[in-house]
Amino acid sequence: MTSLFSPLTVRSLQVPNRIVMSPMTREYSPNGVPGPDVAAYYTRRAVGGTGLIVTEGVAIDHPSAVDSPSVPRLHGEEALAGWRTVVDDVHAAGGRIIPQLWHVGPLWGAMADVDPAVRPMRPSGLWGTPGKTVYSQEYIDASAVPVAAMTQADIDDVIAAYVRSARNAVEVGFDGIAIHAGHGYLLDAFLWADTNRRDDEWGGDLERRTRFPVAVVRAIRAEIGDDLPIFYRFSQHKQQDYLARIADTPEELGVILCALADAGVDVFDASCRRFDLPAFDGSPLTLAGWAKKLTGARSMAVGSVGLTKSLRDEGPAESASIDNVHALLESGEIDLIAVGRLHLADPSLAQTLRDGDVPVFDRAVHEARLH
């Protein structure tokens, strides 16, 4: 257990162990305002000993950031007051917490009915070619209709919205910033060649497709200064197609991640369906392992930790050994391990793991535990 319960410092953030609560969308914040129940939800995990809490995705200050009115936002007096309570309560319990800034981009309308007058932000106006996905055919058909590609004004507005929300996070008292840039959402849509078919400075080859995420990170770093860490979630898979990839080789992945590290990312949050699988043929390194090897930055792995199946696989997800977590931490391949569903099964997950147990996750009570 030494590796799992050793402290870690990233800029001003000091965590007592390597266990992170992974972001999980909840939709329990009416009108985007986190209430006392949200504060209690996160505080229970802080009391339970989790080293770092990354909140559910939080809407940035942009009209098409997130479609569900029950997803919390990081702008507006009432929402910010709610987040102050969350942060204060988590800190009082000895925890650390950072918000995950979120813009859904092409996936606008996936969670809720939306105003047809609001145009989703898509690099080239495209939703993405559907492949292996859990979305309904009705939603796919509606989303397949192209919209106008993002203009330079749109790009400037979105970058400014990320900056405003990052500034709000600092003022509220969060311990850092996390950015959701995977799963087919806006920043990822610029990286994915299928959704970014631009031929200007924001698209074309891989280096140019990386420029928008880099611009967002650089702008946030300039706004928050050098004190707080920036976490960056990325993935190969998309919700439009779980078999899609942004990089077919380590070299291609390096083009993306090294530019982001140079812009100010401190920790790469590598999202996979299975965190411990090799990322590329010919090497046992995981996606998080490659992120660390290529950039020298810290890396965090996530994806079905302590479970036999990923969320999208059919059948019950039974508990499994976390020996592979210890192995990756001991070898230095990863620095942090993010855990989602086991934090629902047991708010005191850290203590349970310290005691040598793995909590049982029951898919049937998943929604109840989110609350």
Domain total in the chain: 1
Q: How many CA atoms lie within 13 A of 208 on its CB side?
A: 12
Domain-embedded: residue 101: yes
Distant-in-sequence, close-in-space partners of 270: CB < 8 Å, separation ≥ 6: 234, 235, 286, 287, 288, 290, 291, 299, 300, 301, 302
* Segment 318-340 mean pLDDT: 91
Mean pLDDT of all residues in 287-305: 96
- Model confidence at 317, pLDDT cuts 50, 70, 90, reads low
In a domain, 3, yes or no: no
Note the pLDDT of residue 312. Answer: 60
Q: Cα separation of 158 and 216, whole Å?
A: 9
Overall average pLDDT of the 345-353 stretch: 94
pLDDT tier, 304 (very low <50, low <70, confident <90, very high otherwise): confident
The answer to whether residue 326 is domain-embedded is yes
Q: State the residue range of the domain holding 365.
A: 8-370
Q: What is the CATH number of the domain that holds 214?
A: 3.20.20.70
Tens-place pLDDT, residues 56-102? 999 999 999 999 999 999 999 999 999 999 999 999 999 999 999 99
pTM: 0.96
Following DSSP, what letter does each residue of 116-140 receive, concatenated?
Answer: TTSPP--SSS------S--S-HHHH
Is 185 an active-site residue? yes
The mean of the pLDDT values for the chain is 94
Position 370 scores a pLDDT of 61
β-bridge partners, 300: 269, 336
Output the six-digit token pair for 322. Answer: 């976390």
* 189 within 8 A of 128, measured Cβ to Cβ: yes
| Amino acid in the structure at residue 218 | R
| Res. 362 pLDDT band, cuts 50 70 90 | confident
pLDDT one-digit tens code per residue, 161-197:
999 999 999 999 999 999 999 999 999 999 999 999 9
Report if residue 2 sits inside a domain: no
What number of other Cβ atoms are within 10 A of residue 290's Cβ?
A: 23
Residue 1 lies in a domain: no
Distance CA(258)–CA(222), nearest Å, equals: 18
Please tell me which residue in 41, 185, 232, 242 is annotated as part of the active site: 185
Please give the average per-residue pLDDT across 38-57, as a whole number. Answer: 98
In a domain? residue 218: yes
pLDDT bracket for residue 2 (50, 70, 90): confident
Is 340 within a domain? yes
Q: What are 54's strand-pairing partners?
A: 98
Closest CA to 56 of 106, 123, 102, 105: 102
